[in-house]
Amino acid sequence: MNVMTGPDDSGNGTTSNPVADGGSILVHHQWVFDFNDDVFSGFAFGEFLLRNDGVLFIRYGSGSSPSAFSSWKVDDRWRGTSIIEFGGWAAGHSYGLSPPSGFPIDARDSED
């Protein structure tokens, strides 16, 4: 099965549950990215989920607090199973990592 496929896949390369087709969660983090420049100031946030098969998924938050998220999609910028190396990669790409939001991985908003 394709890693992008899940039970709620709408055919657009996203899934509502990145572990529905197998694999288990190796690490799950919330992230914040600070656009600290003159062109675009502000921040973005979301979550990373790294499966034990080395596939990294990303979803983006909506609004200013974790009450809604996009669907998960594969993030091809990382592939591997080393949690330490993943943390270094994320820091090197200016992502601040913290514990996950507590928001269910298969939900997109607080109503799910």
pLDDT digits (tens, 9 = 90+) for 16-71: 899 988 889 999 999 988 776 666 667 788 999 999 999 999 999 876 666 688 89
Q: Measured on CA atoms in the order 104, 109, 4, 54, is the torsion positive or negative? A: negative
Q: What is the pTM of this model?
A: 0.79
Confidence of residue 100 (pLDDT cuts 50, 70, 90): confident
Distance between CA atoms of 102 and 106, rounded to whole angstroms? 11
For 62-90, what is the mean pLDDT?
Answer: 88
Tokens of 57: 């998924």
